[in-house]
Amino acid sequence: MKGTPDRQAVVYHAFHVEDLIEAGHPLRPIKRMVDRALADLSRTFRAAYSDRGRAGVPPETLLKAMLPQRLYTIRSERVLCRRLNTDLLFRWFLDLQPSDDVFVHSVFTHDPASCT
């Protein structure tokens, strides 16, 4: 019997993005290594930023975003931010939830921690 697609929009999904990433995916060990390295730099980043003003995108997130950009040969920060809107693998790598807003591409040029 031929099935029919369910056209009803789902209102709520309950899942962990972590569960969707294959156990043997090559980004898993890279993510662990990068998270450890960035945790060591956390105090340095904290000292570089003021306690006053509007909160920005964490420099750890911007630095982590550059890694999949290079690994997956994404040609620009603008394209990377578009991919972050649609690619759960990239969101998982950056510790973003599916419902989180994605930063705009211009933060890479405004944030001194993101200069390469």
Give the pLDDT confidence of 55-70 residue by residue, as tens digits: 778 888 889 999 999 9
- Closest Cα partner for 89 from 56, 116, 64? 64
pLDDT, position 99: 84
- 74, 63 contact by CB (below 8 A): no
Nearest by Cα to 92 from 25, 3, 12, 44: 25
Locate all alpha helices (DSSP H) within the chain, ordered by sequence.
17-20, 27-48, 59-71, 77-86, 88-93, 107-110
Q: What is the pLDDT of residues 29-65, one digit of tens each?
A: 999 999 999 999 888 888 887 777 777 788 888 899 9
- 8 DSSP 8-state letter: S
Contacts of 45 (CB under 8 A, 6+ apart): 58, 59, 60, 113
Is a pLDDT exceeding 50 seen at residue 19?
yes
More confident residue, 13 or 67: 67
Torsion of CA 35, 36, 41, 45, to 10 degrees: 30
Alpha carbons 103 and 16: distance in angstroms, whole number = 21
Is residue 41 within 8 A of residue 60, CB to CB? The reply is yes
* pLDDT, mean over the chain: 84
The pTM is what? 0.78
pLDDT recorded at residue 8: 67
For residue 66, the model assigns a pLDDT of 92
pLDDT band at 82 (very low <50, low <70, confident <90, very high): very high
